[in-house]
């Protein structure tokens, strides 16, 4: 571990660089209350899905136990429509098992015919795995949950991802399910499981207490709106030892009308294709006490990004990025207060301040944007030992910003309209060592 203290305890390693107020340790897998044997070799083998028997097992399992999906007789696949998690119960997907999502939009309808269409409303689908108001639940194991976002929908000539592209072209909303949506929840855990090919976001969490540890997320770069993990109006969140390859934000911290997001740690992770480590675009609930540490971003569209606008803005402050290595990324740093996706209202002005970059290195050229909203809502940002390996080729724009350089070395000086520079550079430090930090996506 770089940049953090750590403490060995009886059940794992406690992360100690964080703003998550919990003592976060590596999760353990609970004992199984029941082991369900696989009946399929592939999802197309199904004459009837496994939804009912998985749900019945979840409903009947006791607190502190798991419903285990296991291989049997050469079979290693399950097929399911929407499932509901229960208090204290973990869905355990064994190594070698794949839980496939149904391709039938009717399985996910919130209202008749609401899923699998493009319209103005959106939000017409249930998630594959949901939980509202639950406590102590989880999804774990070394197996795979496959949302089948690129497969043709039942009775249609388009996939979920095709619908997302249609919605973009027509300036409408797609109605596609997410893999995991947990709301108004406490102490939810994702552990070691692989999530891939989600039709929409892979994971959305709202509540108090969420740990994602050792999770792998893998969807294609061109799969629109396939965010990795999105804490939304959430507090006490730790995302650690995860590998995320996505078609949209790798992680996006959101804070809308449901309230603020705060005390969130993102530590010891690897991001690949996607839109990077994001805050926003909904920030009207307020975002604070965020710590991002020991992160590699490799091959993304965006690296570190805070995004909002006058229809969904609010105060984002007390955010620290430390020990971050970025390469082959088009926009390594983006502070964007005029993000183009507008809601119906105006007058919720964004303000980003108390933002610190400490020990950050960008190995390849790209665009850096440091944009406050106006002279009354300046970007307040500091760079301490931040190095651009190809500073002469970097395109740096800035406006309405109060920028501190130092005390560690910084090898660039942003200039622009209404930009105030406070230079306290003292030098003496070397750029962050990054070459050994980049690793391949686990497969």
Q: What is the CATH number of the domain that holds 23?
A: 2.160.20.10
Residues 371 and 427 in one domain: yes
Residues 89 and 171 in one domain: yes
Is residue 9, in this structure, part of any structural domain at all?
no
- Measured CA to CA, the distance from residue 39 to residue 240 in angstroms comes to 34
- Could you give the number of structural domains in the chain? 2
Task: Assess whether pLDDT exceeds 60 at residue 1.
Answer: no
Is residue 318, in this structure, part of any structural domain at all?
yes
Q: Which of 50, 109, 227, 248 is catalytic?
A: 248
Predicted TM-score (pTM) of this structure: 0.95
Task: Assess whether pLDDT exceeds 50 at residue 11.
Answer: no
Out of 5-14, 57-66, 94-103, 364-373, least confident range: 5-14
The domain boundary, picked from 228, 248, 268, lies at 248
Residues 78 and 165 in one domain: yes
- Residue with the bigger pLDDT between 157 and 341: it is 157
User: pLDDT at position 343, please?
Assistant: 67
Residues 41 and 150 in one domain: yes
Residues 216 and 318 in one domain: no
Residues 315 and 415 in one domain: yes
Residues 84 and 202 in one domain: yes
Q: Are 255 and 283 in contact (CB under 8 A)?
A: yes
Residues 176 and 89 in one domain: yes
Range of the domain at 388: 286-443
Is residue 37, in this structure, part of any structural domain at all?
yes
Residues 212 and 83 in one domain: yes
Task: Assess whether pLDDT exceeds 50 at residue 162.
Answer: yes
Instruction: Check if 87 is active-site.
Output: no
Burial class (CB in 10 A: 0-12, 13-18, 19+), 174: buried
The domain boundary, picked from 191, 225, 248, lies at 248
Residues 41 and 151 in one domain: yes
Instruction: Check if 275 is active-site.
Output: yes
- Measured CA to CA, the distance from residue 257 to residue 189 in angstroms comes to 24
Is residue 375, in this structure, part of any structural domain at all?
yes
Q: Which of 268, 275, 377, 400 is catalytic?
A: 275
Residues 229 and 358 in one domain: no
Residues 332 and 403 in one domain: yes
Q: Which residues contact 101 (CB under 8 A, 6 or more apart)?
A: 80, 81, 128, 145, 146, 147, 148, 177, 179, 199
Is residue 38, in this structure, part of any structural domain at all?
yes
The percentage of the chain sitting over the pLDDT mark of 70, rounded to a whole number, equals 95
């Amino acid at each position: 571990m770089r940049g953090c203290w750590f403490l060995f305890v009886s059940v794992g390693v406690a992360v100690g660089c964080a703003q998550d107020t919990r003592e976060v340790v590596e999760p353990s897998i609970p004992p199984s209350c029941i082991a369900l044997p696989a009946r399929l070799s592939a999802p197309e083998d199904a004459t009837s899905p496994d939804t009912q028997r998985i749900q019945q097992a979840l409903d009947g399992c006791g607190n502190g136990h798991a419903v285990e999906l296991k291989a049997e007789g050469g079979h290693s696949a399950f097929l399911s429509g929407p499932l509901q998690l229960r208090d204290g119960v973990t869905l355990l997907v064994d190594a070698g098992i794949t839980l496939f999502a149904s391709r039938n939009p009717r399985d996910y309808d919130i209202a008749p015919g609401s899923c699998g269409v493009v319209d103005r409303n959106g939000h017409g689908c249930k998630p594959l795995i949901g939980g509202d108001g639950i406590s102590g639940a989880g999804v774990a194991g070394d197996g795979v949950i496959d949302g089948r976002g690129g497969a043709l929908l039942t009775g249609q000539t388009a996939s979920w991802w095709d619908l997302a592209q249609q919605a973009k072209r027509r300036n409408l909303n797609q109605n596609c399910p997410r893999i995991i949506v947990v709301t108004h929840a406490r102490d939810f855990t994702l552990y070691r499981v692989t999530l891939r090919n989600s039709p929409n976001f892979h994971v959305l969490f709202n509540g108090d207490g969420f740990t994602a540890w050792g999770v792998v997320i893998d969807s294609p770069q061109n799969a629109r709106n396939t965010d990795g993990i999105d804490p939304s109006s959430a507090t006490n969140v730790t995302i650690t030892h995860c590998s995320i390859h996505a078609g949209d934000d790798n992680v996006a911290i959101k804070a809308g009308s449901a309230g603020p997001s705060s005390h969130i740690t993102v530590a010891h992770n690897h991001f690949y294709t996607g839109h990077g480590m994001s805050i926003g675009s909904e920030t009207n609930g307020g975002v604070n006490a965020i710590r991002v540490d020991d992160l590699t971003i490799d091959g993304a569209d965006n690296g570190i990004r805070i995004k909002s606008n006058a229809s969904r803005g609010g105060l984002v402050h007390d955010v620290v990025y430390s020990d971050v290595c970025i390469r082959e990324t088009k926009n390594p740093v983006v502070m964007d207060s005029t993000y183009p996706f507008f809601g119906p209202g105006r007058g919720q002005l964004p303000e980003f301040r108390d933002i610190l970059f400490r020990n950050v290195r960008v190995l390849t050229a790209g665009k850096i944007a440091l944009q406050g909203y106006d002279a009354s809502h300046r970007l307040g940002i500091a760079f301490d030992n931040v190095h651009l390996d190809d500073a002469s080729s970097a395109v740096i724009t800035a406006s309405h910003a109060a920028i501190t350089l130092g005390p560690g070395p910084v090898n660039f000086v942003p200039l622009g309209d209404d930009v105030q520079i406070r230079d306290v550079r003292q030098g003496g430090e070397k750029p962050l060592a990054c070459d050994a930090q980049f690793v391949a996506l686990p497969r």
